Amino acid sequence: MSKRVAIVTGGSRGIGRESAERLGRDGFAVVVNYAGNETEAKAAVEAITAAGGEAIAVRADVAEVDQVTALFDAAESTFDGIDVVIHAAGTMYLAPVADIDFDALDRMHRTNIRGTFVVGQQASRRVREGGAIVTFSTSVLGLRMPNYAPYAATKGAVEAITMILAKELRGRDITVNTIAPGPTATALFLDGKDDQTIATLAHAAPLERLGHPTDLADLVSFLAGPSRWINGQTIRSNGGIV
């Protein structure tokens, strides 16, 4: 088999970016997907290649079938196959149920739910035997924090899609799991939160700190590489917060 190949959606920032660079260090050829931030995507590619790895950046809206198909086509034409898909692309909208902006809710559903179906469809058709598919949920599902109902609902859908896909790929030797991070120091998490809120969340876990993108990238690396007996699971990577 040719070199192992990973697609990382949302690979230009945050957990996706850290995961892409980690997989590059692990020896994967990496396809860094991004929706709009070409500068950061190119920086991720440069970081991977500077460390001796192989990578390309490919723009695609994860909710658009034609664009995601082209993303997978680019991976196959450049690196001759696909072994791992890390679906880290996502967006977050917070509001009390009483005050929901339904246009904002629909936009988040489009990325988080439809995007998981679109990426999952291509991954289920194209990932090679011995491969892995990893999606991202959230530990907020267990915390049940006010204002998080819109976001948590989309991630509950991600968990359902992922667990069912694991069973649908029976006999293919492809693992399918979802990672549910706790509070993690990414732009997605920090945006709009004051210092007191961040400090409160940082001390909620027994380890008394926020997660770092590297914490999640370590788990991505494990699920993408040596782990072959963890399948159909939601892994709560949150420092013990729930």
Catalytic residues: 151
Nearest CA to 41 out of 78, 68, 10, 70 is that of: 10
Residue 232, beta-bridge partner list:
none
Would you say 89 and 16 are in contact if contact means Cβ atoms under 8 Å apart?
Answer: yes
Give the Cα separation of 221 and 227 in Å (integer).
9
Give the Cα separation of 52 and 237 in Å (integer).
29
Would you say 42 and 58 are in contact if contact means Cβ atoms under 8 Å apart?
Answer: no
**Strands lying side by side in the sheet with 234-237:** 54-59, 29-34, 5-9, 84-87, 132-136, 175-181, 234-237
- Report residue 114 as tokens: 């439809």
Would you say 19 and 135 are in contact if contact means Cβ atoms under 8 Å apart?
Answer: no
Q: Exposed, middle or buried, 193 (CB in 10 Å: 0-12/13-18/19+)?
A: middle
